[in-house]
A and B are shown apart, each in its own frame.
Chain A
Amino acid sequence: MQDNLAIALMGFPSQLLPEIILGLAACVLFLGATWKVSRHVWGTVALAALVLAGLAMWSVHHSHTPIENEPKAEFADTIRFSAPVLYTKFGVLFKLIGLITGVLLVLLGWDEGGEEHAGEYHACLLLIAAGIGLTGAANDLITLFLALELISIPTYIVLYLPRITAPAQEAAMKYFLLSVFSSGLLLFGFSYLYGVTGTTNISGILDSLGASQGGIATRAVPTWRGLVLVSLVMIVAGLGFRITAVPFHFYAPDVYQGTTTVSAGMLAFVPKIVGFAALLKLLGFVGDSNGQAMGSQAPILFWIMAAVTMTLGNILALWQTNIKRLLAYSSIAHAGYMLIGLAVAPRMTGTSADAVNGVEAVVFYLAAYGAMTLGSFAVLHVLSQSGKTVENEDDLVGLGKTHPVMALVMVLFLFSLIGMPLTAGFVGKFLLFFDAMSVFSSIPEGNAEAVRQATEQGRLYGLLALIGAVNAAIGAWYYLRLASAMYLREAIMPLPAVKTTPAVFAMVVCAVLTLVLGMFPSTLLSPIREAIRPTIAGQAKIAADGPKVAQR
């Protein structure tokens, strides 16, 4: 036993091999950039590092067992309650998302800014990719906090390096101050969480809060309950800044507009995915618990945030003529849609294994949103590369005639953002709204009081789905306005022809991902289910494959 432990503990670094490779590559880039100025060299090195990290991930996948599959329960518990990072399916999923995001960002950022900064720029992108994977793997508040900062700090530099203009400086400063502020809030919440549970180990915290028994184990010690709620509010506020949920959204339009198109695309996606990953981890949405670890008030909080965020985001987007601002408000609105999943998740514990639970829908939506939003920023970036910066709606006028392919790709992303069938956005929205509706339909049998309460809750969630649907309709208006500008109006000053650059590849990858996730959602949904609800997914698999698999 003791030997096993030693081996497992020594094994911590080896499961982080992809992140270690990315970190080392970043160091090589930082150092190398001092003696060689070439965007192609450093871009290639960055890509090679990402590919190598992918290979490392593949080999780790074969040499490590995810903790959920660990046969010896006691051993698994010991690891779970001690390790600063865990090798879980959830972590693997986010590591993969991080690597893909990294590749897309490196391709998009290939021609960004001055050539003399290319090495540092790509090094920062590699660290951001490593940070996403580390956030998914973190099992300790310290590791989680550092992983989040590992994304924030390179982000400040990425916002600054490529374009040193007054608006870009202003955007970077605004983002920096608010980001530091949110880290402070998050940290203060962490300090209370540590005080309540006596540990910084996330599994230990969740266990101490009684996450798997319905959360906030304070019924025995009611006096601590207030402190848990305070820390819940602070953590949600600190992370709400990253996911651009409403009271903390105001920086987004200004910052997106001020910075470069690629950086704006990165800001729309990367903070969102790590913010949600941290929320899912901390509030106990992953595994057998239902996201009420820090109190049954959490779903109510998310309900309100979801409703306000999507409504405000969509309504304010209607007035925007700058495309980057428009996409910023759209990014806020999409954060609202995702919050629906978090609000619904705790109410869906009783549903069958086949149903897609709210958390799974959120993770799917995150991936889908990443593909479509990075894609639409990629289109803008590719169009801007040949000289004229595409910023306003009027710049896109007549694109359908002058650049038919680019217009088609842009329309694909816009349709996905609206939620048209056959695109990833449709599946994501469908799952989320369907989840909210299904609370209403799955009223349990029992005494009259329970049924009455369940009906009431069902109505509330039905209302949330309705708000979501109305918002999707409002959203369709401004996305379609962009599409109609491209096809129905004549260009006065057509944009120059598009050059084939690495960014074009990134755009194509996003388009393919949007279509594949839209047409074959189960390719992503089944790994997500295994990551979020390993036990239920396991049971379903046993039921499907027979007992043979269960023994293995």
Chain B
Amino acid sequence: MNFFLFAAETNLLQTDITLHHYLLLGAILFVCGIVCMATKRNAIGVLMGVELVLNGATVNFVSFAHFNPTFDIEGQIFALFVIVMAAAEAAIALAIVLNFYNNHFTVDVDAAEELKG
């Protein structure tokens, strides 16, 4: 409820697009990523959640940079590095997942039960 009150107060839907709009979008990506990681049983599903979180962070970086013109290069460069890191992580993930699958015939994280105690 609080959220809607806020939205009404700040005229979120009427004024021009502000920093708030972009940040709220980044937050949506972040929360979806977290929920995705929490609910998916599949290793690749978890990885997709991570990609969403990273995208949320990138949206934040770029929008802060856009609305803060004196310093805009840092946000963009950070975002670039994040994209490259995400690619690197995906490559490692693919290797690990494939290797795991070859030996377990599943990528279900919960099926891996040899280490419990």
Contact = CB atoms under 8 A, between A and B. Distances in A.
Nearest to A253: B117
A142 B100 contact: no
A197 to B, nearest CB: 9
Contact of B115 (A170, A184, A200): A170
A153 B88 contact: yes
Nearest to A191: B60
Contacts of B112: 170, 173-174
Main secondary structure of the interface of A (DSSP, over half): helix
B71 A199 contact: yes
Contacts, number: 121
B81 A199 contact: no
A146 interface: yes
A176 B75 contact: no
Given A254-B115, A320-B117, A194 B74 contact: yes
Contact of A194 (B53, B56, B64): B64
A145 B109 contact: no
Given A188-B60, A257-B115, A181 B77 contact: no
Contacts of A198: 64, 68, 70-71
Contacts of A156: 92, 96
B89 A190 contact: no
A204 to B, nearest CB: 9
Nearest to A258: B115
Nearest to B74: A200
Contacts of B37: 181
Contact of B100 (A141, A169, A188, A199): A169
Contacts of A542: none
| Most B C-beta atoms less than 10 A away, residue of A157, A170, A199, A201 | A170
A171 B57 contact: no
A390 to B, nearest CB: 17
A7 interface: no
A171 B81 contact: no
A154 B85 CA distance: 14
A167 interface: yes
B32 interface: no
Interface in B28-76: 30, 33, 37, 43, 46-47, 49-50, 53-54, 56-58, 60-61, 64, 68, 70-71, 74-75
Interface in B71-112: 71, 74-75, 77-78, 81-82, 85, 88-89, 92-93, 96-97, 99-100, 103-104, 109, 112
A322 B117 CA distance: 10
Contacts of A174: 109, 112, 115
Contact of A188 (B49, B57, B77): B57
A177 interface: yes
Interface string A142-178: 1001100100010011001000101101111110110
A192 interface: yes
| Most A C-beta atoms less than 10 A away, residue of B49, B74, B89, B115 | B115
B53 A188 contact: yes
B96 A191 contact: no
B98 to A, nearest CB: 11
A39 interface: no
Contact of B47 (A177, A195, A254): A177
A180 B89 contact: yes
| Most A C-beta atoms less than 10 A away, residue of B23, B49, B92, B109 | B92
Contacts of A191: 26, 56-58, 60-61, 64, 78
A187 B54 contact: yes
Given A149-B85, A160-B96, A191-B64, A177 B46 contact: yes
A185 interface: yes
A242 interface: no
Contacts of A253: 115, 117
B60 A171 contact: no
B114 interface: yes
Interface string A420-435: 0000000000000000
Nearest to A179: B89
Given A142-B78, A169-B100, A188-B30, A177 B92 contact: no
A184 B81 contact: no
Q: Which 6 A-B pairs have the closest CB atoms?
A: A191-B60, A184-B53, A195-B64, A254-B115, A170-B112, A191-B57
Given A190-B57, A191-B58, A194-B61, 8 more contacts: A166-B104, A170-B114, A173-B97, A174-B115, A181-B37, A181-B50, A187-B54, A188-B57
Interface of A: 141-142, 145-146, 149, 153, 156-157, 160, 164, 166-167, 169-174, 176-177, 180-181, 183-185, 187-188, 190-192, 194-195, 198-201, 253-255, 257-258, 320, 322, 325
17 contacts: A157-B92, A166-B104, A167-B115, A173-B43, A180-B47, A180-B50, A181-B46, A181-B49, A181-B53, A183-B85, A184-B54, A191-B57, A191-B60, A195-B23, A198-B71, A200-B78, A258-B114
